[in-house]
Amino acid sequence: MKIKNPKLWHKMPGGIIEGENVLYSRKYLKDVENLYKSKEISNEGKNTLMYEVYSYSEGDETQYGNLFWGLTILHPVYIEKECNMTKGHFHENRNCVEYYFGLEGEGLLLLMDEMGQMSAEKVLPGSLHYIAGNFAHRLVNIGEIPLKIGACWPTTAGHDYRAVEEMPFPYRIYKNNGKIELVER
């Protein structure tokens, strides 16, 4: 028997996922500016890095039972005091659940059911969040350092962004003089 070295690393809490076949994507303000109320964004500002996503899976992604391991890094950016957020999505397969876990920073996990009812959970280092498959979810950085969140979800879940575009989260999150404000749309 031979002992192999790991082919994947996720040094916690501060590291990224590194290794063979790790997928990496990033979103700039120009990619997500439609999420924010303010439309007064300079051309230079549109190149601001908003968030990064690392993910890894092994095996056939269409096979039930296989998992993604992921990391999202949401930068501390404010657009006219509105907090930086991910696009948010439902899973295409509403039977697929997901776990998020806080690694660094401070944020909110917004959860919205298919009727548009929303709740929020604080995300902090060490917090663990169960996301039912029929809930849309979005992360919001409410702190002053990058918010780092780990995730694990089925490879068969898929991402349904269109449902959130058609029925947006009903509250916007602002930080004003150090206080978080939830403002109804």
What is the per-residue pLDDT across 86-98, written as a single tens digit (0 to 9) for each? 999 999 999 999 9
Find tokens 């501060």 and name the residue. Answer: 14
Q: Render 120-145 in DSSP notation, one character per residue.
A: EEEE-TT-EEEE-TTSEEEEEE-SSS
Q: Which CATH superfamily is domain 22-184 in?
A: Jelly Rolls (2.60.120.10)
Give the model's pLDDT for residue 6. 86
Give the residue among 50, 71, 52, 51 at the shortest CA–CA distance from 153: 71
Residues 74, 128, 174, 180, CA torsion sign: negative
**DSSP character at residue 6:** P
Mean predicted confidence (pLDDT) in 41-56: 90
Largest CA distance in the chain: 62
Give the residue among 65, 66, 44, 45 at the shortest CA–CA distance from 55: 66
Find tokens 């040094």 and name the residue. Answer: 11
* pLDDT bucket at 13, cuts 50 / 70 / 90: confident
Type of residue at 147: L
**DSSP character at residue 41:** -
Give the residue among 154, 170, 167, 151 at the shortest CA–CA distance from 91: 154
> In the beta sheet, which residues pair with residue 67?
154
Give the model's pLDDT for residue 51. 98
Please give the share of the chain, as a percent, with pLDDT higher than 90.
84
**pLDDT tens per residue, range 107-125:** 999 999 999 999 999 999 9
Domain ranges of the chain: 22-184
